[in-house]
Amino acid sequence: MTIHLAPPAQAVDLGLPAFRSGLDDVPKIPTGADGSPLVKQTKKEFTSDQEVRWCPGCGDYAVLAAVQGFLPELGLRRENIVCVSGIGCSSRFPYYLDTYGLHSIHGRAPAIATGLATSRPDLNVWVVTGDGDALSIGGNHLIHALRRNVNLTILLFNNRIYGLTKGQYSPTSEPGKVTKSTPVGSVDEPFNPVSLALGAEASFVARTMDSDRKHLTAVLRQAVEHRGSALVEIYQNCPIFNDGAFDVLKDRDEAQARLVHLVHGEPIRFGPPGEDGLGTRGVVRAADGHLTVTDVADLTAPGGPGTNGLVVHDATSADPSVQFALSRLDDPTMAHVPVGVFRSVQRPAYDDMVRAQVGSAVERAGGPASDDDLAALLAGKDTWTV
Amino acid sequence: MSTKTSVRVDRVVIRFAGDSGDGMQLTGDRFTAQTAALGNDLATLPNFPAEIRAPQGTLPGVSSFQLHFADHHVMTPGDAPNVLVAMNPAALKANLRDLPRGATIIADADEFTRRNLAKVGYTASPLEDGALDSYQVHALPLTSLTVKALEEFDLTRKEAERAKNMFALGLLSWLYTRPTTATERFLTEKFGARPQLLAANLAAFKAGWAFGETTETFAVAYEIAPAPAPAGTYRNITGNVALAYGLVAAARRAQLSLVLGSYPITPASDILHALSKLKRFDVTTIQAEDEIAAIGAALGAAYGGAIGVTTTSGPGLALKSETIGLAVSLELPLVVIDVQRGGPSTGLPTKTEQADLLQAMFGRNGEAPVPVIAPRSPADCFDAALEAVRIATTYRTPVLLLSDGYLANGSEPWRIPAVATLPDLRVDFATAPNATKDDGTAVFRPFDRDPVTLARPWAVPGVAGLEHRIGGIEKADGTGEISYDPDNHDRMTRLRQAKIDGIDVPLLEVDDPGLADEGIDGAGTGQADLLVIGWGSTYGPIAAGAQVARQAGTRVATAHLRHLNPFPANLGDVLRRYRRVLVPEMNLGQLALLLRARYLVDAVGYNRVRGLPFTSTEIADAIAKLAQEGSL
């Protein structure tokens, strides 16, 4: 099935259809006749007066700058934005945004944000977390937030290392990682955060990079608009304890060979461009059903299936199996790393449904409860009078 | 009309006991509702295994429900039953040792088969071999009588047998002259959609009543007159329901939404069940993935301006510790309810205990003071919930409310308060910046404190000009910015402690009849030598035990603590006024430890951890023992 998409409005087109927005119930800055905000917001207004205390060269700076630069675009009142974080380097993020911010405890940000988002539909709630925070100590809360589909934008900074505790391996570290706590190499199999999120019934899953601001911003735009839990994995460099973890994806030539840009509705091609200007490598379905990478030339050779043999990316498919298969193209050697929006499907958000149940109970009872209603509740059905 | 005579008695303790599947809790509940409707004072004690259906007919599968009702004020579910209803040999065997000689046993003789007797190690039927000669035994074929009564219905034998608890209820209702309309209405509601089952249950219930009236087994019926009570409208209520209603009432009086984050755990789950049905009162319930997420969701909602509540039992409280510490650091209102059960670890999930006091007081890293309060009876859970919300919102702090398994499932009559008389719990949210910078711009300082309460502003997202960041890292006094300054940490630690220490709690009242009689204030001759002080659900047994001791001529005073942190300001004075202080607790001496440490008094503990509430006799004996020692 081909989905017809509106013409790309953004610099990086992720090719996704618009659904009910994650921001629908959040008050906006009043706009003029031309639709532009009457109060002009800039990055400066989203920058708090706190001195940023990440290490020089930390990838977090780039993400912070991208978010601060992106927020004015939403046209929201600053006071209606809340950033909730856990513990770790990235979880200091809220201190640097001049919005409401809650720096909580290790791994629990999704749980706290669930309570906040459920009780306050007028807020745009972000969760900022890292690979240790979200996938190790807080793994349970992350998967359940995704399963429930709470209206949250979750930024998962993945630097594949514990930074704040000074350099132990993390649940996304490659096997054999030599660190302070694993002097002869780690023996654990890492999580692939995208695979995990898809397995947890996430409705929106994307991956992007700290160093590609355009792509990062485009992904954020989609994530914030998504109604429900939007998980964005951000590959982020830790210059102190895991420097260069993603260098192969940042070198221009290497990146071209390895990064698989996912665009909804498009055949999945990457690698150095061929004569048609498109990538010379492509993703195809192997005979046993898994996805694999091949030279496009092999497809277009006489007797081959042609480019029709390429897998067309469908982020909106309700069945996540092909999206999951795409996430498995990645491996610790980063030979092929899909980036972009893996999945964006619309399904009811937990907080919307919880509020709807309360709302309909109030409605069925004929309106908000009165003191008399409370008195009737307290009395129950069997009373006696002395 | 009955031709039998009726005899007036002042009090009765009945225990219904049967297999987990026999419906003893329902039978007890219905008998209680009928008794409440009659106006007797009462107290109940359900006692059931953690297993949902242990093997049928075995000792681990026995479930019981004890009810004490009287024509006077009742303070406990009764030390020992006057009447045991035993639906099978296991129920008889498990409960016989609690029965005083001369008590009445009503047993379902049909269930005393060789097979059922063997399951619990009886070689001969105790109904026939003389083992029960010192009791008044009524061995009645309850099962076959029920089946016979339901012959006209299109039911299998098994289905008909299941109504035997209604037959027993009908019989006991006749025997104690209980009004039946409440049970008939209850059955109509429960089985309204299934007319056949409704008719069968009603028929079994009425057959039980009629059997009592006509059989020669029972010569008389008993009457227990209504107990005198303050004027008002009453209902019967369990502790868990009273807690749920108290929370709803508190949220209404605060004019805020109520958000419960909870993870199912015995014996607290019924609060979640009750609140999940009350959505129309602007109640949101979130059944979280675990205990930690449950309190996290509650805290998130509190941050957003709701009354955030989490409910749990001891093991869950352990998991919530870190988040309670975060709430202490953030200084946000939060109500944490621990319905205590036997511990440690999984312990005794369905049995009561008071051994989480020190966990509530100290179970966190760092200096993390938390107010602790405890209800003293099932109905008092309602007031305790309101008090927890008052402290949480006034002082912007998490509050721990310690209920227990006995209060949770036990019930008593409750004089229903008028909504308008409940405390006004409206809160003041921060609405504008509270300080000015040197350059004249207005700023918001999230940790500037109220000079009286030391509470910080409750500044919820959505208010322009108050954007601020807070977290679990130490904050600079006033600005709330991250601060690692040594003096600041020392100051903030002391401020947080001072805020809790300064919570306004009522003075402790002492019940010392000697003082009251003689009107002497202080160390007069009328004052007792011995003070019995307790907390939580031991209130009833302590009051009843002291009464027994007083009747025996011992001068004894009692006092009961609702507030365990901070303690009432006069507690030290009260303790020092008495030569001996006895502290009965269902733990190994946790309150006693606090009293000894705080006030340097030689408090003596009376401690049992049997998973059951104290009996008044146990307390009276402990009082007598200490009084004797004291007189030496």
CA distance A365 to chain B (A): 7
Residue of B280, B306, B461 with shortest CB distance to A362 = B280
- Given pLDDT bands bounded at 50, 70 and 90, which one contains residue B532? very high
pLDDT digits (tens, 9 = 90+) for B334-361: 999 999 999 999 999 999 999 999 999 9
Contacts of B257 in chain A (CB under 8 A): 119
Which tokens belong to A291? 């996805």
Closest by CA position to A156, among listed A227, A54, A63, A224: A63
Query: How far is residue A62's CA from residue B425's CA, in Å, rounded to a whole number?
Result: 46
Q: Is B420 on the interface with A (CB under 8 A)?
A: yes
Query: How far is residue A192's CA from residue A234's CA, in Å, rounded to a whole number?
Result: 12
3-state percent breakdown (helix, strand, coil) of chain A, nearest 5: 35, 20, 45
pLDDT (mean) for A129-136? 98
Query: How far is residue B470's CA from residue A102's CA, in Å, rounded to a whole number?
Result: 5
Model pLDDT, residue B556:
95
> Has residue A104 got a pLDDT over 60?
yes
Residue of B36, B261, B468 with shortest CB distance to A100 = B468
Q: Please judge whether B36 and A384 are an interchain contact, meaning their C-beta atoms are less than 8 angstroms apart.
A: yes
Interface probe with A: pick from B275, B279, B458, most Cβ of A within 10 Å? B279
DSSP state letter for B331: T
Q: Is B243 on the interface with A (CB under 8 A)?
A: no
Contacts of B308 in chain A (CB under 8 A): 115
CB neighbours of B306 closer than 8 A, spacing ≥ 6? Answer: A119, B256, B257, B258, B259, B284
Q: Is B423 on the interface with A (CB under 8 A)?
A: no
Q: Is A263 on the interface with B (CB under 8 A)?
A: no
CB neighbours of B158 closer than 8 A, spacing ≥ 6? Answer: none
- Given pLDDT bands bounded at 50, 70 and 90, which one contains residue B518? low
Q: Which residues 290-329 of chain A have a CB within 8 Å of chain B?
A: none
CB B389 within 8 A of CB B371: no
Concatenated DSSP letters of B160-189? HHTTHHHHHHHHHHHHTT---HHHHHHHHH
C-alpha pair distances (Å), B308 with each of A34, A109, B149: 42, 16, 52
Residue of A374, A382, A385 with shortest CB distance to B252 = A374
pLDDT (mean) for B283-297? 98
Q: For residue B22, how many C-alpha atoms fall within 13 Å in the half-sphere facing its CB?
A: 33
Query: How far is residue B630's CA from residue B579's CA, in Å, rounded to a whole number?
Result: 8
Q: Is A61 on the interface with B (CB under 8 A)?
A: no
- The fraction of chain A above a pLDDT of 90, given in percent, is 89
pLDDT digits (tens, 9 = 90+) for B215-241: 988 888 999 999 999 999 999 999 999
Contacts of A84 in chain B (CB under 8 A): 300
Residue of A113, A116, A386 with shortest CB distance to B234 = A386
Please state, as a whole number, how many other Cβ atoms lie within 10 Å of the Cβ of residue B412: 26
pLDDT (mean) for B377-400? 98
Model pLDDT, residue B515:
80
Q: Which residues 456-495 of chain B have a CB within 8 Å of chain A?
A: 461-473, 481-482
Q: Please judge whether A144 and B288 are an interchain contact, meaning their C-beta atoms are less than 8 angstroms apart.
A: yes
Amino acid (1-letter code) at residue A158: N
Q: For residue A379, how many C-alpha atoms fall within 13 Å in the half-sphere facing its CB?
A: 14
CA distance A112 to chain B (A): 4
Q: Scan for tokens 């049992």, then name that residue.
A: B608
pLDDT digits (tens, 9 = 90+) for A258-295: 999 999 999 999 999 999 999 999 999 999 999 999 99
Q: What is the 3-state secondary structure (H, E, C) of A12-40?
A: CCCCCCCCCCCCCCCCECCECCCCCECCC
Q: Is B231 on the interface with A (CB under 8 A)?
A: yes
Closest by CA position to B574, among listed B606, B547, B599, B607: B599
Closest by CA position to A200, among listed A187, A210, A191: A191
CB neighbours of B29 closer than 8 A, spacing ≥ 6? Answer: B65
Contacts of A369 in chain B (CB under 8 A): 252, 280-282
CA distance B539 to chain A (A): 24
- The fraction of chain B above a pLDDT of 90, given in percent, is 90
Which tokens belong to A330? 């990645």
Model pLDDT, residue B517:
57
- Given pLDDT bands bounded at 50, 70 and 90, which one contains residue B549? very high
Q: Residue A118: which H helix or E strand, with range?
A: helix A109-119
pLDDT digits (tens, 9 = 90+) for B450-473: 999 999 999 999 999 999 999 999
Contacts of A141 in chain B (CB under 8 A): 289, 292-293, 296
- Given pLDDT bands bounded at 50, 70 and 90, which one contains residue A34? confident
Query: How far is residue A293's CA from residue A305's CA, in Å, rounded to a whole number?
Result: 15
Residue of A79, A114, A355 with shortest CB distance to B297 = A114
pLDDT averaged over chain B? 94
Beta bridge partner(s), residue B615: none
Contacts of B422 in chain A (CB under 8 A): none
Q: Which residues 295-324 of chain B have a CB within 8 Å of chain A?
A: 296-306, 308, 322-323
Model pLDDT, residue A1:
34
Closest by CA position to B582, among listed B553, B541, B610: B541
Tell me: cis bond preceding B344? Omega within 30 of 0 counts: yes
Q: Please judge whether B472 and A95 are an interchain contact, meaning their C-beta atoms are less than 8 angstroms apart.
A: no
Query: How far is residue B410's CA from residue B243's CA, in Å, rounded to a whole number?
Result: 13
CA distance A153 to chain B (A): 16
Contacts of A381 in chain B (CB under 8 A): 185
CB A249 within 8 A of CB A332: no
Contacts of B37 in chain A (CB under 8 A): 382, 384
Model pLDDT, residue B523:
44
Concatenated DSSP letters of B78-140? -SS-SEEEESSHHHHHHHHTTPPTT-EEEEEGGG--HHHHHHTT-SS-TTTSSTTTTSEEEEE
Query: How far is residue A250's CA from residue A244's CA, in Å, rounded to a whole number?
Result: 9
Q: Please judge whether B464 and A371 are an interchain contact, meaning their C-beta atoms are less than 8 angstroms apart.
A: no
The count of CB pairs under 8 A between chains A and B is 210
> Has residue B514 got a pLDDT over 90?
no
DSSP state letter for A239: T
Model pLDDT, residue A324:
98
Q: Which residues 491-510 of chain B have a CB within 8 Å of chain A?
A: none
- Given pLDDT bands bounded at 50, 70 and 90, which one contains residue B52? confident
Q: Please judge whether A382 and B33 are an interchain contact, meaning their C-beta atoms are less than 8 angstroms apart.
A: yes
pLDDT digits (tens, 9 = 90+) for A69-101: 999 999 999 999 999 999 999 999 999 999 999
C-alpha pair distances (Å), A269 with each of A73, A255, A263: 31, 13, 10
CA distance A208 to chain B (A): 27
Q: Is A173 on the interface with B (CB under 8 A)?
A: no
Interface probe with B: pick from A98, A116, A146, most Cβ of B within 10 Å? A116
- Given pLDDT bands bounded at 50, 70 and 90, which one contains residue A15? low
A69 alpha-carbon distance from chain centroid:
18
Q: What is the pTM of this model?
A: 0.94
Nearest chain A residue to B283, by CA: A358
Q: Is A200 on the interface with B (CB under 8 A)?
A: no
Q: For residue B292, how many C-alpha atoms fall within 13 Å in the half-sphere facing its CB?
A: 21
Which tokens belong to B573? 């004075």
Q: Please judge whether B235 and A103 are an interchain contact, meaning their C-beta atoms are less than 8 angstroms apart.
A: no
The crossing angle, in degrees rounded to 10, of helices A371-379 and B239-254 is 170
> Has residue A38 got a pLDDT over 90?
no
DSSP state letter for B614: P
- Given pLDDT bands bounded at 50, 70 and 90, which one contains residue B630? low
Closest by CA position to B251, among listed B141, B390, B443, B140: B390
Closest by CA position to B9, among listed B177, B212, B200: B177
Q: In terms of pLDDT, which residue wins out, B439 or A9? A: B439
Concatenated DSSP letters of B571-588? HHHHHHTSSEEEEEESSS
Closest by CA position to A78, among listed A117, A41, A104, A25: A41
The crossing angle, in degrees rounded to 10, of helices B314-330 and B291-303 is 30
- Given pLDDT bands bounded at 50, 70 and 90, which one contains residue B524? very low
Model pLDDT, residue B376:
98
Q: Please judge whether B416 and A383 are an interchain contact, meaning their C-beta atoms are less than 8 angstroms apart.
A: yes
Determine phi and psi for B580, rounding to 5 degrees: -125, 145
- Given pLDDT bands bounded at 50, 70 and 90, which one contains residue A4? very low
CA distance A290 to chain B (A): 33
Query: How far is residue B138's CA from residue B127's CA, in Å, rounded to a whole number?
Result: 9
Interface probe with B: pick from A97, A100, A103, most Cβ of B within 10 Å? A100
Q: In terms of pLDDT, which residue wins out, B377 or B1? A: B377
Beta bridge partner(s), residue B258: B283, B307
C-alpha pair distances (Å), B511 with each of B379, B508, B516, B550, B623: 21, 10, 8, 12, 15
